[in-house]
Structures are given as structure tokens and as C-alpha cells.
Structure 1
């Protein structure tokens, strides 16, 4: 019978994590693919659904790359480039969640602002997140030799520290905006009315805290304290698995918080595309 240490350090541990990662990744690809299809072709988009559409796209890319790279890592060994590519989509997802939470928080704090907001503000915010995430991940990766193979420790340390500050600043903004939203709605809302998508947004922060933060932490330790990251190499497998859970759970949260949940449940067995579309169409 294998001891706990043999399971943790041996191939059995990685086989179990690999199997779970592939299963979770495939399930998340189906869920996010369904969201992309519905919001992209079946549902009339609004400011909120634009964020969800881009978020589902980032999660779909993350899960797709993570699943493929997990198979390649299990069969051929780990490559540094795998981590860079998957973390890029992960960062875009984090930035989109921050933008969505900030917009909802501003709408609650300043109700008049939501009525006069520019028509394409959500699309512009999403495009900005995609554009800024590229240098945010690729520049420190290049400086630390994850893309080219050669690096200077001092240069890598400087870029990585700046990258860590930006990443955890995004995480802090996500937590603070969700906290403000929670306090504002619970304490100051009239007649107990909650804004649209209130549950969806508040559920994303704890989900990221438990399932996304470990992956963010590993990225922070990867180059700044490399000997710890290499000593706890199994932590990367756990962090990647939890990150897959983070990206795979969002479609379920989206569907459960959609309007007309009873209509959604009745639409599935009847295979009524029209009723399913109506059940998922969210109006801000």
C-alpha cells in the first residue's frame, strides 16, 4: 500500500491530478463553448453579456491550452512556454472580472452614471484588457528567459516584482469592488431590491480566491524565489487544477444566475432553442 509521501512525490499523484485536470478542462470547454455560442449567436447582447462573452472566450482559451499542455507535459515533460501561454489567458480572465466588478460597483454607487454610459463602453473595456494583458505577461516572461532561454537575474527580478504588484493590485481591486457592492446593496438598497447580476459578480471573487489565487501565487514565486517553486513542484499541478476549476465553474454560475431559471429548466428537455435563448437573455 502506497504511503502518503509516495503518492505526493510519485507518478501516481501526477496521474490523478492529470486525469482530474483533463476531465475538468473538457467539462469547462463544453460549458464555456455553450456560453460563447449562445451569447455570440443566439442572444441579443447587452453591456453585461459583452463581459461574459469575452470572459467565456478567455476561459475557453485557457482551458483548451491547459488541457493540451497537460497531455503534452504528462507524455513529454514540462516546457516553460506552456506556463506563459496559459497564464496569459488566465490574466485576461482576471482583468475582465475586475472590469465587470468595477462597472457594476459604479452602477450601484452612481445610478445616473449607468444611464449615460457610452454605448460601446463594455466592448472598449474588454478590448483594453486584452491589449494590456499581452505586455503584462509577455514582457516579464521575456526578461526572465521563459521565452528565449537566457536572462539576467537582476533584470528578471525587477520586471517580475512589477508584474507581481500589478497582478495582486488587480486581485485587490476585485475584492474591494465586490466588498463595496455587497455592503452597498445589503445596507442601502431600497425594498431589498438587488441589481441585475448581483449574485453572479459576488460569487466570482470567492471562487477566484480559492481556485485562482494559487495559480497567481505560483507565477509570483516562479522566478523571484525559484528554489522554493522548484522544491514544491507539485504545487504547480494543484494550482493548475484549481485554475481549471475556476474557469470551468463560471458557466454554471452564469446559468444559475440567469433570469427565468424555471424557463431554462423547462427548455432543456423540450430542446426548444427559442425558449432557451429567452431564458438566458439577461437585461441590465
Structure 2
């Protein structure tokens, strides 16, 4: 009879986790691909749908890379480059989620500001998040030798600490803004009408806390405690699986929180593309 440690340290454990990762990734690719198609081609864009479109794109890229890298890891062994590329899209998704949460918080605190917001603010914010994600991940990866194999310990430590501080600052802003949004809407708002994206944000934030934070934590410990992380190598597999769950569950949240679910279901059943587009526009 195998002990628990023999199970989690053996190939059986990794085979099961990697298989679940591939299945979760494939399901998430279908869901996020559907979101990209609907929001990109079938629905009239608005500030909310633009954030969701970019967030679905980041999740799609993460799940696509993670699924391919999982198969390559199982057949050829792990590579440091896999983690860097996958985490790049993960960090972009975190930044987009923070931007969405912040905008909803500001809209709840300052209703007049939300009506006077710049027309292209969402588009500019999304472009800025994509642009800043590249140096935030690639610069410390290059300094720590994850891209070319050579590294300087001092340079690695400096760049990695800056990257980690920025990432956890984003996570802190996400938690604080979602908490303020919750308190503002539930306790301080006299109006019965809630912000249109309220449910989306407050369900995606706990999802990230439980399923996305482990992957973020592993990235933090990867270069600062590399000599000890080999002992807990199974933690990376669990963190990657939870990150796949985080990205694959968001399309379900998008559809399940539709205020006009019945219209959406009727339109889908009739196969009427125009009715489906109208129903989806009513969600935002």
C-alpha cells in the first residue's frame, strides 16, 4: 500500500493532475473562444464588453499555452520558458481584472464621473495593461536566467522583487476596490438599482483569490526560494491546475449572471443570431 507522500511524489499524481489540467484547459478554451466570438463580432461593444473581451483574450492565451505546455511537459519534461510564457498572460488577466474592479468602484462612489468618463478610456486602459505586462514579467525572467540560462543573483533579486511588489500591489488594489464596492452597494446605497457589473466583479475576485493566488505565490517564490521549491514541486502542478480553473470558470460567470437569462436561452434555442445579440447586449 502506497503512502500519501508516495502518491503525491510519484508519476501517478502528476499524470492525474496534468490530465485534469488538459481537460480543464480545453473546456476553458471553448468557453473563452465563445466569449471572444460573441463580444468581438456579434455584440455591440461598450466599456464593459471591451474589458470582458480583453480578459477573455488573456484567459484564452493562458489556457492555450498552458494546455500545450502541459502536453510537452508530460512528453519531454518541464522547461522554464513554459512558466514564463504562461505567467505573462496570467499577469495580463490580473491587470485587466484590476482595471475592471477599479472602474466599478469609482462608478459606485462617484456616479457623475461614470457618466462623464472619457470615451476611449477602456480601450486605452486595456492597451496599457497589455503593454505593462510584458516588462513586468519578461524583464525579471531575463535577469533570473529563465529565458537565456545565464543570470546574476543581485540583478535577479532586484528585478524580481520589483515585479513581485507590483503584482501584489495589483492584487491588493483588487481586494480593496472590490471590498469598497461591496460595502458601498450593499450598505451605503439608498437606491435599489445596483451597478451593472456588480455581480461579475464580486464573483470573479473570490475566484481569483482561491484559484489564482496560488499561481501568483509560486511565481513569487520561484526565484527567491529556488533552492527549496524543488521539495514542493507538486505545488506548481496544483497551482497551474487552479489557475486553469480560474480562467475556465469566468465564461460561466458571464452567462450565469445575465439579468435576462431567459431571453438568452430562448434566442439560443431558436438559433436567431440577431435575438442572441440583443439578449447579450442586455447583459452588459
- TM-score norm. by structure 2 comes to 0.97
Distance 2:115 2:191 in 1: 21
Aligned counterpart, 1:222: 222
Per the TM alignment, residue 270 of structure 1 is displaced from its structure 2 partner at its CA by: 2.6
Per the TM alignment, residue 171 of structure 1 is displaced from its structure 2 partner at its CA by: 0.3
Per the TM alignment, residue 37 of structure 1 is displaced from its structure 2 partner at its CA by: 0.2
Query: Structure 2 unaligned runs (5+)?
Result: none
Kept in 2, the 8 Å contact 1:32–1:57? The answer is yes
Question: For the structure 1 residues 237 and 40, does the alpha-carbon distance in structure 2 shift closer, same or farther, using more than 3 Å as the test?
Answer: same
Per the TM alignment, residue 3 of structure 1 is displaced from its structure 2 partner at its CA by: 2.9
Aligned counterpart, 1:106: 106
Per the TM alignment, residue 169 of structure 1 is displaced from its structure 2 partner at its CA by: 0.4
Distance 2:283 2:257 in 1: 12
Aligned counterpart, 1:87: 87
Kept in 1, the 8 Å contact 2:258–2:283? The answer is no
Kept in 2, the 8 Å contact 1:144–1:150? The answer is yes
SS at match of 2:137: helix
Flag as ranges the 4+ runs of structure 1 deviating above 6 A.
Answer: none
SS at match of 1:192: coil
Aligned counterpart, 2:175: 175
Per the TM alignment, residue 230 of structure 1 is displaced from its structure 2 partner at its CA by: 1.5
Distance 1:14 1:49 in 2: 37
Distance 1:149 1:87 in 2: 18
Render the CA deviation track for 1:7-55: whole Å, top value 9, x for unaligned.
Answer: 1000000010011001100000000000000000000000010000000
Render the CA deviation track for 1:85-110: whole Å, top value 9, x for unaligned.
Answer: 00000000000000000011111111
- TM-score norm. by structure 1 comes to 0.97
**Aligned residues, how many?**
284
Render the CA deviation track for 1:211-241: whole Å, top value 9, x for unaligned.
Answer: 0000000000000011222110110000000
Per the TM alignment, residue 206 of structure 1 is displaced from its structure 2 partner at its CA by: 0.5
Deviates more, 1:200-209 or 1:189-198: 189-198
Report 1:178-257 matches (<5 A).
Answer: 178-257=178-257
Distance 2:260 2:9 in 1: 48
SS at match of 2:194: coil
Aligned counterpart, 1:160: 160
Per the TM alignment, residue 282 of structure 1 is displaced from its structure 2 partner at its CA by: 4.3
Aligned counterpart, 1:96: 96
Distance 1:282 1:209 in 2: 29
Q: CA RMSD in A?
A: 1.1
SS at match of 1:145: coil
Per the TM alignment, residue 283 of structure 1 is displaced from its structure 2 partner at its CA by: 6.5
